[in-house]
């Protein structure tokens, strides 16, 4: 009888299977794949703390802390001496003169003059945005914020001198005379030359506030960096899911 039933099934070429065990049938159901978590780099959910923590996890905060102390020392000197010149001033002067050359191609004397200050302030902004959104380096962006503050202070000192013109001027584009002072020309165009000291003082104050803000932001980034690094575990296990040990 066993051989007869097998031959009939083979003759019909039809095999019918039915699972009668409900527990086995439940286990054989396909399991839905987990949905991927939203990518916070592309604007996913999460607050500023999570956004920064993802980018600084695993980085050493103690290598960057001395740089923050140097920036604090520079700010202290700016408060102690209004004419203090920091290591950023040479860089700012170079971009200032490059701005004159770049805007000279517009064919406008005003924009050629204003281009120096535009570059001096715009380059730290562009560098900070690049580090923040392209390099995912929040601490580097906070350093650029301090750099921006020194540019504001330098531009403010220059603007405050527009009326009296006591500062020594440097120009690689020709002889220096009374018409070579950038802020004298710009403020005269808008009829505000008499307010040169007020405008310059406001710019210097804005620069010092910006530098102080950079110290606050940089300190917070280092705090997040230290917290996430200590929670990440030893090197080589960061970001990897830990498997549970099999039960005995």
**Residue linked to tokens 């039933």:** 5
Query: Smallest Cα–Cα separation from 205: which of 149, 141, 146, 121?
Result: 149
> CA 167, CA 158: separation in Å to the nearest integer?
8
Is residue 193 a part of any domain in this protein? yes
Is residue 152 a part of any domain in this protein? yes
Is residue 243 a part of any domain in this protein? no
Locate the DSSP E strands across 1-140. Answer: none
Residues 203 and 153 sit within 8 Å (Cβ to Cβ): yes
- R_g over Cα of the chain: 33
Residue 169 has a pLDDT of 85
Residue 129 has a pLDDT of 98
Is residue 71 a part of any domain in this protein? yes
Q: Which two tokens stand for residue 177?
A: 């005379």
Residue 137 has a pLDDT of 96
Kindly give the confidence (pLDDT) of every residue in the chain, 248 residues in length, as a single tens digit, with 9 standing for 90 and above.
444 444 444 444 544 455 555 555 545 555 555 555 544 444 445 799 999 999 998 899 999 999 999 999 999 999 999 999 999 999 999 999 999 999 999 889 999 999 999 999 999 999 999 999 999 999 999 999 999 999 999 999 999 999 999 998 877 666 566 678 999 999 999 999 999 999 999 999 999 999 999 999 999 999 999 998 776 554 434 444 444 544 54
> CA 158, CA 175: separation in Å to the nearest integer?
18
- The number of helices, as runs of H, and strands, as runs of E, in the chain is 9, 0
Check: pTM over 0.85? Answer yes or no: no
Is residue 17 a part of any domain in this protein? no
- Structural domain span for residue 68: 57-228
Domain count, the chain: 1
Is residue 125 a part of any domain in this protein? yes
Start-to-end CA distance of the chain, whole Å, equals 48
Is residue 43 a part of any domain in this protein? no
Q: Which two tokens stand for residue 119?
A: 């570059």
Is residue 159 a part of any domain in this protein? yes
């Amino acid at each position: 009888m066993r051989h007869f039933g097998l031959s009939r099934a083979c003759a019909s070429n039809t095999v019918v299977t039915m699972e009668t065990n409900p527990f086995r049938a439940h286990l054989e159901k396909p399991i839905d794949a987990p949905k991927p978590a939203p990518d916070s780099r592309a604007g996913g959910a999460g607050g500023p703390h999570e956004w920064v923590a993802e980018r600084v996890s695993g980085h050493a905060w103690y290598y960057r802390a001395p740089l923050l102390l140097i920036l604090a020392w520079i700010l202290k000197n700016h408060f102690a001496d209004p004419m203090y010149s920091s290591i950023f001033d040479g860089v700012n002067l170079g971009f200032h003169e490059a701005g004159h050359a770049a805007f000279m191609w517009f064919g406008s004397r005003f924009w050629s003059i204003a281009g120096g200050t535009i570059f001096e302030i715009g380059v730290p902004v562009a560098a900070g945005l690049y580090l923040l959104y392209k390099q995912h380096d929040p601490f580097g962006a906070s350093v650029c914020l301090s750099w921006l503050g020194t540019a504001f202070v330098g531009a403010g000192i220059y603007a405050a001198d527009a009326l009296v013109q006591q500062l020594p001027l440097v120009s690689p584009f020709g002889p220096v005379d009374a018409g070579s002072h950038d802020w004298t020309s710009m403020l005269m165009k808008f009829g505000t030359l008499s307010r040169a000291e007020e405008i310059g003082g406001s710019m210097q104050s804005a620069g010092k506030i910006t530098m102080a803000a950079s110290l606050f932001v940089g300190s917070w980034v280092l705090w997040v960096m230290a917290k996430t690094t200590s929670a990440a575990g030893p090197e080589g296990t960061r970001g990897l899911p830990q498997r549970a040990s099999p039960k005995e």
